Amino acid sequence: MSAGAKHNHNHGHIHHSHHDRHGPHGHIPTDFGRAFAIGITLNIIYIVVEVVYGLLSGSMALLADAGHNLSDVLGLAVAWAGAELSKRPPSAQFTYGLGGSSILAALLNGLFLLVACGAIAWEAIGRFNSPSEVASTTVIIVASIGIVINFGTAMLFIRGQKEDINIRGAFLHMMADAGVSAGVVIGGIIIFYTGIDWIDPLISLLIVALIFWSTWGLLTDAVRMSLAGVPQDIDVEDVLKALSELPGVAAVHDLHIWPMSTSETAMTAHLVVPDGHPGKGFLADVQNMVKERFSIHHITIQIELEDEEAEYCQTNCG
């Protein structure tokens, strides 16, 4: 609304704590820091082992799986960094804090992983033309270790995966890694019994497809968030309807919903009410409803009296 309009500006805001359960955009509990550290360390060590033995054994499948594990290490690091940055208080320069840096990190990770996909796919296609002999026994052993490490890492997050979607994402990524490693083991067994070496680059391409699929989702979500797009799990029409149906609300406009970080969502809205104050506790009721139904915790509501809204429109609308 124009600054010249005579409105009754009545703002309400809920300050969330880092222990709130934020639904789809909740904070990662601080006690998962140790789980992140252990998971990232184990997977980095395993990536090094996969790269070394992938080169020594001539297995593109192991190298592709290393690329996939790298994608999830970066994902874990982004989630961890976002959790740590969200603890920092707002400042005069960053009044919302530094939570938005997790969006930038996800965007960079997505771009990096797309480049990695291209490099792995290029090498794998070249192997089809001149397949090299693969040390299938080495591939089977190394990939089997990967199943144990990835499954063990997933178990570090099982306690919180039902309550926090960020923890659930880490859990599912590690379980998917265990499945990919199982695929590499199966490929190694097929090569061992058949001697068909082109199975290895074929599995590499399948792994690349999996990485690309997960990376594309990460990249599109990061771009959407960086452009202040409405989080995918929130329907603006549902929020608008819920606000419009509140007792005493005549109209709703200037509704804006955007992500402050990968774990926090903010909303502002103007509510037009009949003549007179909407009543004691009205703002708290609105905020509690939005918080409970849509898991939005940074809420700012502006109240506009109906007669003032009509006066403004007579002067400025149309």
CATH number, domain at 267? 3.30.300.30
Question: Where is the domain boundary, 226, 249, 280?
Answer: 226
DSSP SS3 for 94 = coil
Q: Is residue 185 part of a domain?
A: yes
Give dist(CA 57, CA 54) in Å, integer: 5
Which are the contacts of 55, defined by CB distance < 8 A and separation ≥ 6? 63
Of the candidates 257, 247, 245, the residue with the CA atom closest to the CA atom of residue 281: 247
Per residue in 67-109, pLDDT tens?
777 877 877 887 777 767 777 888 888 888 887 777 777 777 7
Per residue in 271-304, pLDDT tens?
998 866 677 788 888 999 999 999 898 899 998 8
Which are the contacts of 195, defined by CB distance < 8 A and separation ≥ 6? none
Give dist(CA 45, CA 35) in Å, integer: 16
Which residues form the domain of 299?
Answer: 236-316
CA diameter of the chain: 83
Q: Work out the number of other CB atoms within 10 angstroms of the CB of residue 22.
A: 20
Q: Work out the number of other CB atoms within 10 angstroms of the CB of residue 176.
A: 16
72 shares its domain with 204: yes
Q: Is residue 12 part of a domain?
A: no
pLDDT reading at 309 higher than 90: no
Report residue 54 as tokens: 């992938």
Question: Where is the domain boundary, 197, 226, 255?
Answer: 226
Question: Where is the domain boundary, 226, 251, 273?
Answer: 226
131 shares its domain with 201: yes
Residue ranges in 86-198 assigned as alpha helix (H) = 101-129, 136-156, 165-194
68 shares its domain with 194: yes
Q: What is the mean pLDDT of residues 41-57?
A: 89
Best mean pLDDT range from 39-48, 77-86, 184-193, 308-317: 39-48
Q: Per-residue confidence at 58, pLDDT binned at 50, 70, 90?
A: confident
206 shares its domain with 241: no
pLDDT reading at 7 higher than 60: no
Number of compact structural domains in the chain: 2
Q: Is residue 179 part of a domain?
A: yes
Give dist(CA 300, CA 279) in Å, integer: 17
196 shares its domain with 287: no
184 shares its domain with 285: no
176 shares its domain with 208: yes
Q: Which residue has the tokens 């930038």?
A: 104
Q: Is residue 21 part of a domain?
A: no
174 shares its domain with 98: yes
Q: Is residue 306 part of a domain?
A: yes
Give dist(CA 175, CA 192) in Å, integer: 26
* pTM score over 0.75: no
218 shares its domain with 250: no
Q: Is residue 32 part of a domain?
A: yes
pLDDT reading at 191 higher than 50: yes
